[in-house]
Structure 1
Amino acid sequence: MIRAYRADGKAEIIPASGQSEGIDPAIIWLDLVNPDRAEEATAERLLGIPLPTREDLKDIEPSSRLYVEDNVIFMTASLVHQVETDLPELADVAFILSGNRMITIRYAEPRAFQLFSGALARIPGRYKTGAEMMARLLETIADRTAEVLEIAVARLDALSAEVFVDRKAAKRRRPGFLEDKLLDIAAHHRLLTKARDSLMSLSRLITFLRSQPAVRKDREADELCRIVAHDIQSLSEHAGFVSNNITFLLDASLGLINVEQNAIIKIFSIASVVFLPPTLVASIYGMNFQFMPELTWTYGYGLALVTMLLSAIIPFLFFRWKGWL
């Protein structure tokens, strides 16, 4: 699909069998969403420039993601999407600045694009140049990434409240509760990792964009890019802070699991120590020696039972007094 946006905020769909030559000068943004080969050919014919393919967008080399060719600026960034799902992903999006027009090529639906296109309709005629529009789009993407980090922080706070509860609530937990929370921590870590990777690619893109003469000449666009670069840096630092919180939560959860396991082992250890003296007494009187005076005692059996009982109770009371139980 080829969506064309005019400076006045109006949008239209350009069919793959559309105009044979040229494009309306009023169109300031051309957005290619999941384009097929026919739509790519139509866009190339209208713009007069070669467009990167889906395979080109996956290239991680800087020279393939950020370059200038015939005064046309080609940039690729990775944007996080599917944030609301359990499997957030990165989508490679191409940003092209050709003259006074911005072109984007994407094979996903990051929410930032929906927010930005909606703002175009509400404020028609706001953007005069393609560079300014691109800077505003990057600003919207940075804002959306900030929202993603806020979502991650909110989820971590909720998870932390579930993990760190009082002792009474902890005793009522079902077996394997903390082990399940480890999977939740891994999911939050995946979301944060995707957001940090996105911020890194945006930082490279905005630095490259600010170095271009076409952007430096546009004061409004240059100032917007400077603000976006500062926002991205701040978000990267905040993402690092959130990453430390995830690490702490992971370590704390593993520590609580170890504490629970040690408590179980302690119970078995104390039980074995408590029953060791009675076992010793029973073993002594279970010997088959011929001469054992106790065998002729009238109350020997009862005394043996009382001795075994006392040998079990005394260690138990001692452990209680020490606070080991």
Structure 2
Amino acid sequence: MITAYRSNGEAIVLTVDNQLQALPEDVIWLDLNCPTREEDNYAERLTAIEVPTRQDLRDIEPSSRLYTDGQATYLTSTLLCHADTPNPALSDVAFVLTPQYLVTVRYDDPRSFKLFSSSIARIPDGLKSAHTALTKLMETITDRTAEVLEHAEVRGDMLLMQIFGEETAGKKRRPPRFLERLLIDIAQHHRLVSKARDSLASLSRAMTFLYTVPAVQADQEAKELCRSISRDVQSLSEHAAFISGNITFLLDASLGLINVEQNSIIKIFSIASVVFLPPTLVASIYGMNFKFMPELEWLLGYPSSLVLMIVSALVPFFFFRWKGWL
């Protein structure tokens, strides 16, 4: 699907069946969302530039993500998608900046694009130029990433409370396999933050390259905005690293508590075996079938052996209680 956005934010959906010979003069942004090959060719005729295809985005080398071809500047960034779902993903998005148009090619649906398209109408005087649209879009992408990291930090606090919180501290026993299920939540949380860090690294490179574009250098407002976005990306990268450190602590704490619970279970079995060892010894001795055993002729031999077994079990039990091992 091809959507053309005017400078005032009005959207025009372009179709291959009903092709325009030329774009309206006030069109600034051309957004290609999962375009077909026919739509790629149509966009190339409208903008007179080469539009990256899906295969181009897949095969592009990291060293060739940022380059200039004539008057067109090509940037390919890896953006975070589906951050609000259990399966966040990364998607390559191509940004093509020309003196007249901003062309974006994407095969996924980052939420930042919806946020930006709906906010164009609220920009004073609208989109003045293509490089203004690109810097504003990059600002929205950065803000969206900051929002994702804020939610990730809140999620980390919730996981911390589930591990050490009051709601589980007062219980004698946790629910079965509680910590094992919690490890899955921590792994999903780590996946989101790690993908956000990868996206921020890609944005940092793109903003550094965008800052050197002549059209941005000639516009003082756009240049300052690029510089501000670069600082925001740097601070968000540091924030993501801090959250990653907290996730490592959550993982270590969960594994430590699992080991503590396992050691407690093993300790119970060890104490039980020690407590029942003396009665077993007594029963084994008097269960032997030797012919000459004086105790076998005792009138009170059987109750005496029972009392001896009970005493031999109680003595180590109370000793363990006295030592604080139970």
- What residue is the counterpart of 1:58 in the other structure? 58
> In the aligned structure 2, how far is the partner of 1:311 from the partner of 1:219?
89
- What residue is the counterpart of 1:314 in the other structure? 315
1:73 and 2:73 correspond:
yes
- What residue is the counterpart of 2:175 in the other structure? 174
- Matched AA of 1:112: S
Paired residues for 1:225-264 under 5 Å? 225-264=226-265
Q: What runs of 5+ residues in structure 1 fail to find an aligned partner?
A: none
Q: What runs of 5+ residues in structure 2 fail to find an aligned partner?
A: none
Kindly tell me the number of residue pairs found equivalent between the two proteins.
Answer: 324
SS at the partner of 1:276?
helix
SS at the partner of 2:12?
strand
Structure 1 residue 69: Cα displacement: 0.5
Structure 1 residue 117: Cα displacement: 0.9
- The question of whether the paired residues in 2 share the 8 Å contact of 1:9 and 1:125 is answered with no
- The question of whether the paired residues in 2 share the 8 Å contact of 1:5 and 1:28 is answered with yes
RMSD over aligned CA atoms reads 1.6
Cα distance 1:60–1:272, how it changes in 2: closer, same or farther (>3 A)?
A: farther
- The question of whether the paired residues in 2 share the 8 Å contact of 1:131 and 1:218 is answered with no
> In the aligned structure 1, how far is the partner of 2:103 from the partner of 2:60?
20
- What residue is the counterpart of 1:214 in the other structure? 215
- The question of whether the paired residues in 2 share the 8 Å contact of 1:116 and 1:137 is answered with yes
> In the aligned structure 2, how far is the partner of 1:123 from the partner of 1:290?
105
Paired residues for 1:3-152 under 5 Å? 3-16=3-16, 17-20=18-21, 22-123=22-123, 125-152=125-152
> In the aligned structure 1, how far is the partner of 2:237 from the partner of 2:248?
17
| Deviations 1:200-256 (CA, angstroms, capped at 9, x unpaired) | 111111111112223222211111111000000000000000001111101111111
Deviates more, 1:89-98 or 1:123-132: 123-132
- The question of whether the paired residues in 2 share the 8 Å contact of 1:185 and 1:246 is answered with yes
> In the aligned structure 1, how far is the partner of 2:124 from the partner of 2:229?
22
> In the aligned structure 1, how far is the partner of 2:63 from the partner of 2:300?
96
> In the aligned structure 2, how far is the partner of 1:148 from the partner of 1:266?
44
| Deviations 1:8-53 (CA, angstroms, capped at 9, x unpaired) | 2222122224123x43332111111111111111110011111110
- The question of whether the paired residues in 2 share the 8 Å contact of 1:9 and 1:124 is answered with no
| Deviations 1:269-296 (CA, angstroms, capped at 9, x unpaired) | 0000000011111122222333322222
SS at the partner of 1:196?
helix
Structure 1 residue 321: Cα displacement: 1.0
| Deviations 1:155-192 (CA, angstroms, capped at 9, x unpaired) | 22112211213465443422111111111111111111
Q: Normalising by the residue count of structure 2, what TM-score does the alignment of the two structures yield?
A: 0.95
- Matched AA of 2:281: L
- Matched AA of 2:235: S
Structure 1 residue 60: Cα displacement: 4.9
- Matched AA of 1:321: W
- The question of whether the paired residues in 2 share the 8 Å contact of 1:8 and 1:124 is answered with no
> In the aligned structure 2, how far is the partner of 1:114 from the partner of 1:288?
88
- Matched AA of 1:110: P
- The question of whether the paired residues in 2 share the 8 Å contact of 1:2 and 1:39 is answered with yes
Q: Normalising by the residue count of structure 1, what TM-score does the alignment of the two structures yield?
A: 0.95
SS at the partner of 1:128?
coil
> In the aligned structure 1, how far is the partner of 2:204 from the partner of 2:57?
17
- What residue is the counterpart of 1:271 in the other structure? 272
- The question of whether the paired residues in 2 share the 8 Å contact of 1:7 and 1:124 is answered with no
SS at the partner of 1:171?
coil
SS at the partner of 2:59?
coil
- Matched AA of 2:325: W
- The question of whether the paired residues in 1 share the 8 Å contact of 2:9 and 2:118 is answered with no
SS at the partner of 2:83?
coil
| Deviations 1:63-106 (CA, angstroms, capped at 9, x unpaired) | 43111111210011111111121101112111111113211111
- What residue is the counterpart of 1:293 in the other structure? 294
- Matched AA of 1:80: L
- Matched AA of 2:222: A
- The question of whether the paired residues in 2 share the 8 Å contact of 1:135 and 1:221 is answered with yes
Cα distance 1:65–1:170, how it changes in 2: closer, same or farther (>3 A)?
A: farther
